[in-house]
Structure 1
């Protein structure tokens, strides 16, 4: 009996090992996945923070930095729709409190928002696939548009990150509803409204899709089922989270009650009125041109991803395609057009592009090798385009993502003036500076010279007296009027702003290809010059 029974134990051990095997394999795979995501996030941090303060501050960036600085100094803020919502001023002010005010910290909050988009792709693994979610996160981290504006002190990267959070929370709720999901959705929605008025477009685009989905029986049942599962309690928490956060942010932590009405009505009215102004001066095809020339890899991979995702998750695939197409239409129709707004229609494309890369990887046969070669070319261009605009040409008007940028000379002038101020020894009076404020030239100097004794005067006016300060910065118009009164100064001209007013009527396949491959413009770039005058002997 002993001989017969002896083999029983090894058999049980073998069976146990066989059962343990898949679990161990899955644990190893999950560990490898976590390591990969950790490496991706670490690399994203490096590329976002390295040289963060080096690029000259754009006019709009300097406004964000400066008014956040004033908020940090005074603790007082009131909503102004021209400058968009309050959230970014609070967060940038917090960076100043924690780390001091500098060119680096002025861009740190946008960097943190951009970095948050990497882990926010993690919950989409169930809907998109694990490789797809990882690839999308990598494209958000290193793609040209998102990396450029992720290091740019404007509110659009905030909106993009919050919109991704809103999208993730909505679709995680639809996929596997939990009672806490509505509260998260409400908080994201309130944060988005408190960041920029384009949230009205986001609500229209997303809301119109879900209204449309009621026409498709399967989608209608899925949506209604999800809505019911949260119950009255869940949707009560949605209202509480939205109303509470919206009120706190727009009233400056309950110190300005009128901000609540501003957030509900004033901002929307202001930007509807601005539609006819057509700020930015770009035609309707502007965003399409940016996408085709800068983000064509995402468009191609996104189209492949849309087909692949439709086969597995048609409801989610339809949403992403709808989000892209309708967003592109609305932003192309809207009067104001600047390069940073391309982030919004691009967001769903990047998610689909992640699915496209996954689909290519798992394709079988000869088509797989063709797809891998094509994907390698596309990803090489993503890296090249990102290098051009983020490292090599961050203040170059040839780049379509660069909108009327402050020239590199501006930062050199700012550094020179700051060095003069720092060179004043103890007991000496502070350096005095006069900035010609004509032609909107107050910024970015208001930011750069925030710690100096500065006067802002429209020197182009006929009755403006000649300046007597230690340093004078003036426009060409003021210089032509006052140059004979500046004999006590040494002066030089420098490039102030640079731009490329594109002639869309001159676009041809040949010059479009030259632009994509070489950034060779098809009509000349332009700019605006200024003058720096420093008292002799300084």
Structure 2
């Protein structure tokens, strides 16, 4: 499970049997329904009735009965509408049977859930691919690091040193990765853990990256002529508030309507009630870096 948290693709082998079982179940349901008979007996109204029922239940769950008389009236209108839809279900069930009726409702529900699944997959892959607002992204190198790597490339071009620009990278907390990948073409990179008193920053370094835990200590080692440090996110992860949740608190959220809203906000808009966890770094640039490309 611990490995699965960090690498969700390891769970695929567990999900595949469930997918196959779900497909077989849907096939059985579809083949068990007499579609022409169901259509003649108005079962097609399920295409409208089922989504409307879910919307009404959704509205009912988040409707504040005590806020105003209009809200109270709205609530009773929702109950009346649900009663009308339930009556329609009874009529159709009397004609085609409850088994087929529930089967059609289930199939329409699957289509609705597929829409939500597709939306969630799209957001996770194309909108929040490297942002841990998604539970799928457990621990992720932040986009700040990629942006800084591009900035170092531009700095190397400005100095004229190209791949020989002199860099210093703090390796505390395994910070050498992914810098070793981004800076693989550079030949003058010094990797050292600045938690050690033996670690030094050479006077010839033009760009220095320091782990936030070593920053205050490394300021004394930093040669003169460097810019003020700029903080950036190195790694970040989904909020780990769930680690401290007790069973009583968990079950209380199931009956606390005020907390339901937080779950809905996350499900629909990926709004988090707790900040992302992160571990940061500081980058320092030498004042010797020219403002225009070196000739």
Q: TM-score range by the shorter chain?
A: 0.5 to 0.7
Q: Mark the CA change 1:353 to 1:423 in structure 2 (over 3 Å): closer, same or farther.
A: farther
Partner of 1:473: 209
- Rounded to whole Å, the distance in 2 between the matches of 1:429 and 1:404 is 30
Q: Give the superposition deviation at 1:357.
A: 4.2
Q: Give the superposition deviation at 1:343.
A: 2.2
- Rounded to whole Å, the distance in 2 between the matches of 1:374 and 1:385 is 17
Partner of 1:347: 16
TM-score by length of 1: 0.35
TM-score by length of 2: 0.61
> Which of 173, 179, 197 is equivalent to 1:462?
197
Determine which structure has greater relative contact order: mean sequence separation of CA pairs < 8 Å that are 6+ residues apart, divided by chain length. Answer: 2
- Rounded to whole Å, the distance in 2 between the matches of 1:521 and 1:429 is 41
Residue 447 in 1 paired to residue 181 in 2? yes
Aligned partner of residue 278 in structure 2, secondary structure: strand
The answer (yes or no) to whether the contact 1:434–1:471 under 8 Å persists in 2 is yes
> Which of 436, 446, 459 is equivalent to 2:170?
436
Aligned length: 205
The answer (yes or no) to whether the contact 1:503–1:523 under 8 Å persists in 2 is no
Q: Give the superposition deviation at 1:515.
A: 3.3
Partner of 1:17: none
Partner of 1:378: 113
Show CA shifts across 1:467-504 (max 9, x none). 43121111112221122434312231111111122325
- Name whichever structure is richer in helix by fraction: 1
> Which of 143, 154, 168 is equivalent to 1:419?
154
> Root-mean-square deviation (CA), in Å?
2.7
- Rounded to whole Å, the distance in 2 between the matches of 1:428 and 1:403 is 35
Mapping 1:223-238, distance limit 5 Å: none
The answer (yes or no) to whether the contact 1:475–1:531 under 8 Å persists in 2 is yes
The answer (yes or no) to whether the contact 1:497–1:529 under 8 Å persists in 2 is yes
Q: Give the superposition deviation at 1:516.
A: 3.1
The answer (yes or no) to whether the contact 2:210–2:218 under 8 Å persists in 1 is no
The answer (yes or no) to whether the contact 1:405–1:498 under 8 Å persists in 2 is yes
Partner of 1:501: 240
Aligned partner of residue 138 in structure 2, secondary structure: coil
Q: Mark the CA change 1:339 to 1:463 in structure 2 (over 3 Å): closer, same or farther.
A: same
Q: Which runs of 5+ in 2 are unaligned?
A: 44-100, 255-259, 290-295
- Rounded to whole Å, the distance in 1 between the matches of 2:163 and 2:265 is 55
Partner of 1:119: none
Q: Give the superposition deviation at 1:397.
A: 1.9
Q: Mark the CA change 1:521 to 1:363 in structure 2 (over 3 Å): closer, same or farther.
A: farther
Q: Which runs of 5+ in 1 are unaligned?
A: 1-330
- Name whichever structure is richer in strand by fraction: 2
Q: Give the superposition deviation at 1:423.
A: 4.6
Q: Mark the CA change 1:434 to 1:501 in structure 2 (over 3 Å): closer, same or farther.
A: same
> Which of 134, 142, 166 is equivalent to 1:399?
134
Q: Give the superposition deviation at 1:461.
A: 1.6
